[in-house]
Amino acid sequence: MSSASFAWFARHEIGLFWRDWTALVLRGKPHRRIFVGLAIAGFIIGMHVVAWFTVTDTVDLAATDPRAVFIFVSGCALVSLSLMVSQSLEMVTRAFYARADLDLILTSPAPSARIFIVRFCAVALMSVVMSAALAAPFFNVMAFLEGPVWLLSYFALLSMSAIATAIAIVVAVALFATVGPRRTRVIAQIIAAVIGAGFAIAMQLVAIVYFGNVSRLSVLTSPELTGSLPPVASPLWIPARALLGDISAVLAFCIAGFGILALSIAAFSSRFATLALSTVGVSEQSAANSARPARFRAGTVRRTLRRKELVLLARDPWLLSQTLMQMLYLLVPAFLLWRNYGTDIGAVIVVVPVVVMASGQLAGGLAWLTLCGEDAPDLVQSAPMSPHIALQAKIEAVLIAVGLAVSPIVAFLGLVDLRAAAITAGCMVLSASAATAMQVWFRAQARRSHFRHRHASSKIATLAEAFSSICWAGTAAFLALGNWLAAIPAAMAILVLVFVWMIRPREA
Amino acid sequence: MTVRQEDAPALSIAGLFKSFDKPAVCGLDLEVEAGEFYALLGPNGAGKTTTLRMVAGLLPPDSGSISIYGIDALFHPVEAKRVVAWVSDEPMIYDKLSPLEYLEFVAGLWSVDNRAAEARSGELLELLGLAPHAHERCGGFSKGMRQKVALAGALVHEPRLIILDEPLTGLDAGSARQVKSVLQERVAGGVTVIMTTHILEVAERMARRIGVIDRGRLIAEGTLEELRARSGRDGSNLEDIFLDLVAESGSGADEAAA
């Protein structure tokens, strides 16, 4: 293998990826291999069981109208594609900004475009993995039932990821050209978040509006839609037919998919190195100036810390995109509740659990940022104050930030229904406090920029945080309805909190 | 009850031990006089940073005692921290704050009067050449600028003891001179400075006394002349003396090669 060839770069990348992945999964404990292996095997078997039963329903659909199957598969493919584009955009952008070994490679005599081409092909492979985890069991079950031709569907999936990567490359290059390297990363993150959630949410909202439930399947199998579909032979069905194992469709779809990726790479590969170099030393913060005049404010140590945390939170663009995502996802349950119960119990009541749930989730994220994502831990620790003061100030900052975010909604509720507003405020405090407490107990020092990996530090805390927020949302909903059943989710929320406290790491 | 002794040494360490996977600091005894510029030298992994982190209250020792201007730093950490500033080789600043906002934050942590802190911040930013960038966020700053912001933060609360761990790493000649000049001014004003550095010329020129640490123990200490006398190499520079001392101590082969 000659040095700096495509194969040489690919081997280098695979080696690095494998080490990163094993380090992430095993966390330095080789004995976890067995546990991880068993978990993966369990997931694969479970997914195949699910696929086995689901395939029967799909076959029933096929008996009525093949286009119903096509539209169902196309809908699923579009959801997958939106997730793939979201994931690819994030990874493609990161490839331009990551410095690790890029400076070394770019300063070497090796053709710089090769490393990017290898990395973008890796992006295509990576983005197919997540979809394959869900789709592969279906392909395998169909291959078992109908014959090995179904295994060709894997190529269709690969073609989809190639298209997603091509879209991501075009979007990333366009962002560099329009908003510049300073802002591209943040805007790409926001676009990725919106694309990832947007399509699935839109389908759910349509399902709720027209069919009264949250299932995307309702939209895809509705007579209104199937009645207006193009004929079976239409080229529009090529992706669906490819995913269903049709040889000619697989061939056409692969030529199209890989062709689009090749075209996008060919069109922009000469600019990859330039774009990567343009990101050196830029920061989205460096352009921003503080408009505040140079006037220091008096205050206690606690107030100083609180103020600093609030300023940092307000200036966090990643937090903005994450909050936007959470709000987008909460649209679905809010809309479903309004659709199902709004006319009977008052539309205002359905907002109550949604706000409570959002408060808990938001508090969890903010608590991680303030407690774990402290970028100057030595400074705070070397300051003349008790560690409790710093902790208190940070917790206060989290609760204030959550309060500021949701208080307009609570205030609006108060105008319409004072009791509902009071319940929302009370449960919101409980939900946010519980999520914050969990982050306090499981806190571990990290960089603020590692926010997107925060769930990896403690999956138990993350799950408990979500479950606690759901329980407090349930409590708020029942209280708003004046139902004594509110005691049940409240008790569950308290039990979760006690459980998390009992299993907390002792050194925290 | 801690009583600050005006004539107490700036730093007094006795029998300090700290182990991680293996011993890092082994029964270290060290005393630094008030108003002294003290350079702590040693090969990589000698225990310099671990020692200084324990002094700054960032790491609890396994045993031993640390006294700062007569204040027992292990029993009265808040009192001790009030007079200490810590600057690490990796600047501890916030990307999303401007230098001025950072200094306001640090002054708040040390409960410095806001008017005094504001005036002092302006002077420090001017002195370190950061005034034109006072309102820019630190995220886009170079390593040297970040280090200078961190140093300004360390000085804004007027500490009596400044501990610097490799403060000149990555600084250009101009920035390094600014930092050295600021530190020398502070020492002239009675402030004590303890600094680790691998740039031996800096230690040679700036430090009144030099301590050499290896494998968690102080293997030599004194003025440059005293160290020369001890090594028996008249007229030799600190680099030669340091390499001799470390080689004598047993772990210097690699360092000497480096």
Does residue B166 carry a pLDDT above 70? yes
Per CB-CB distance under 8 Å, the chain B contacts of A381 are 57-58
Nearest CA-CA distance, residue A306 and chain B, Å: 10
Q: Which residue of A has its CA nearest to B143?
A: A281
> Is B98 in CB contact (< 8 Å) with chain A?
yes
Q: Three-state DSSP class for B18?
A: strand
Q: A290–B95: do the CB atoms touch at under 8 Å?
A: no
Q: A381–B57: do the CB atoms touch at under 8 Å?
A: yes
For A20-30, what is each residue's pLDDT tens digit?
A: 777 777 766 77
Report the distance separating Cα A219 and Cα A199, nearest Å.
13
Burial class (CB in 10 A: 0-12, 13-18, 19+), A144: middle
Give the pLDDT band of residue A284 (cuts 50, 70, 90). Answer: very low
Choose, out of B53, B92, B143, the residue to mutate when testing the contact with A (most A CBs < 10 Å): B92
Report the 10 Å Cβ neighbour count for A329: 17
Does residue A175 carry a pLDDT above 80? yes
Nearest CA-CA distance, residue A346 and chain B, Å: 44
What pLDDT, on the 0 to 100 scale, is given for residue A348?
Answer: 64
Q: A301–B111: do the CB atoms touch at under 8 Å?
A: yes
For A204-219, what is each residue's pLDDT tens digit?
A: 666 666 655 545 555 6
> Is B86 in CB contact (< 8 Å) with chain A?
yes
Report the distance separating Cα A505 and Cα A442, nearest Å.
6
Secondary element (H or E) of residue A369: none
Distances in whole angstroms, Cα of residue B117 to Cα of each of A73, A492, B28, B114, B155 = 66, 50, 36, 5, 10
Instruction: Among A285, A298, A382, select the one facing B137 at the smallest CB separation.
Output: A285
Per CB-CB distance under 8 Å, the chain A contacts of B106 are 379, 383
More confident residue, A504 or A63: A504
Task: Phi first, then psi: give them for residue A376, nearest 5 degrees.
Answer: -130, 60
Secondary element (H or E) of residue B20: none
Task: Phi first, then psi: give them for residue B131, nearest 5 degrees.
Answer: -55, -40
Report the distance separating Cα A264 and Cα A256, nearest Å.
12
> Is A280 in CB contact (< 8 Å) with chain B?
no
Nearest CA-CA distance, residue B241 and chain A, Å: 33
Does residue A3 carry a pLDDT above 80? no
Instruction: Among B78, B97, B153, select the one facing A386 at the smallest CB separation.
Output: B78
For A88-134, what is each residue's pLDDT tens digit?
A: 888 888 888 876 677 777 777 777 788 888 888 888 888 888 777 77
Choose, out of A185, A378, A450, the residue to mutate when testing the contact with B (most B CBs < 10 Å): A378
Does residue B157 carry a pLDDT above 80? yes
Burial class (CB in 10 A: 0-12, 13-18, 19+), A389: middle
Per CB-CB distance under 8 Å, the chain A contacts of B81 are 382-385
Instruction: Among A286, A291, A295, select the one facing B140 at the smallest CB separation.
Output: A286
Per CB-CB distance under 8 Å, the chain A contacts of B58 are 378, 381-382
Report the distance separating Cα B145 and Cα B126, nearest Å.
13
For A312-367, what is each residue's pLDDT tens digit?
A: 888 876 676 666 666 666 666 666 666 666 555 555 677 788 888 888 888 888 88
For the beta sheet containing B84-87, the strands, ordered from the edge strand earlier in sequence to the opposite edge, are B84-87, B161-165, B192-196, B37-41, B209-214, B217-222
Lowest mean pLDDT among A101-110, A183-192, A429-438, A488-497: A101-110
Q: B97–A375: do the CB atoms touch at under 8 Å?
A: no
Per CB-CB distance under 8 Å, the chain A contacts of B117 are 296
Q: Which residue of A has its CA nearest to B93?
A: A376
Residue B62, both tokens:
């396994």
Nearest CA-CA distance, residue B206 and chain A, Å: 26
Q: Which residue of B has its CA nearest to A295?
A: B118
Per CB-CB distance under 8 Å, the chain A contacts of B109 are 301, 304-305, 379-380, 383-385
Report the distance separating Cα A284 and Cα A93, nearest Å.
14
DSSP A235: G
What pLDDT, on the 0 to 100 scale, is given for residue B170?
Answer: 73
Instruction: Among A285, A297, A381, select the one facing B139 at the smallest CB separation.
Output: A285
In the stretch 297-356 of chain A, residues with CB closer than 8 A to chain B read 297-301, 303-305, 307-308, 311-312, 315-316
For A376-424, what is each residue's pLDDT tens digit?
A: 888 888 999 888 898 999 999 999 988 888 888 888 888 878 888 899 9
Give the pLDDT band of residue A507 (cuts 50, 70, 90). Answer: low
> Is A381 in CB contact (< 8 Å) with chain B?
yes
* Residues A468, A364 contacting (CB under 8 angstroms): no
What is the DSSP pairing of strand B71-72 with strand B63-68? antiparallel
> Is B199 in CB contact (< 8 Å) with chain A?
no
Q: B93–A375: do the CB atoms touch at under 8 Å?
A: yes
Give the pLDDT band of residue A68 (cuts 50, 70, 90). Answer: confident
Does residue B67 carry a pLDDT above 90? yes
- Among B156, B106, B108, CA closest to B128: B156
Angle at B188 between CA B184 and CA B190, to 5 degrees: 120
For A4-55, what is each residue's pLDDT tens digit?
A: 677 888 888 888 778 877 777 776 677 777 888 888 888 888 888 888 887 7
> Is B97 in CB contact (< 8 Å) with chain A?
yes
For B107-130, what is each residue's pLDDT tens digit?
A: 998 888 888 999 999 999 998 889
What pLDDT, on the 0 to 100 scale, is given for residue A340?
Answer: 61
What pLDDT, on the 0 to 100 scale, is given for residue A306?
Answer: 92
DSSP string across B160-200: SEEEEESTTTT--HHHHHHHHHHHHHHHHTT-EEEEE-S-H
Cross-strand pairs, B87: B164
Q: B108–A381: do the CB atoms touch at under 8 Å?
A: no
Query: B167 Cβ partners below 8 Å, 6+ apart?
Result: B87, B89, B147, B151, B179, B195, B197
Average pLDDT, chain B: 86
Instruction: Among B81, B97, B101, select the one facing A382 at the smallest CB separation.
Output: B81
